[in-house]
Amino acid sequence: MHIHFKVRNTLTSSSSQQLTSQWFFDDALTDVVHAQSPYSAKGRRDTRNQNDGIYNQGGSSLVLALTPGGSGYSGAFDIALQV
């Protein structure tokens, strides 16, 4: 399971840049999430990290560590762009 994200700087139209990537999550954690509604209604998932082509091309460095809290999870990931 992963979430896509995009970071943009729009200092000027001639120097704008963007980064598009995705965060991955530990399969053990996503097993817990997929066992709950509404995800459980979708049936068994077909892709785990080991079978994800993007994950296998360096996605392991983009695994977001999450902490349970309240009714969900929270996490942080630092991103820096050289502009």
Of the pLDDT bands very low, low, confident and very high (cuts 50, 70, 90), residue 83 is low
Residues 6 or more apart in contact with residue 22 via CB below 8 angstroms? 2, 3, 4, 5, 54, 59, 62
pLDDT value at position 72?
Answer: 85
Model pLDDT, residue 28: 92
Q: State how far the Cα of 15 lies from the Cα of 50, in Å rounded to an integer.
A: 37
Q: In whole angstroms, how far apart are CA 32 and each of 18, 57, 72?
A: 33, 25, 11
Q: Which carries the bigger pLDDT value, residue 41 or residue 8? A: 41
Q: How confident is the model at residue 4 (pLDDT cuts 50, 70, 90)?
A: very high
Q: Where residue 19 falls among pLDDT bands split at 50, 70, 90?
A: confident
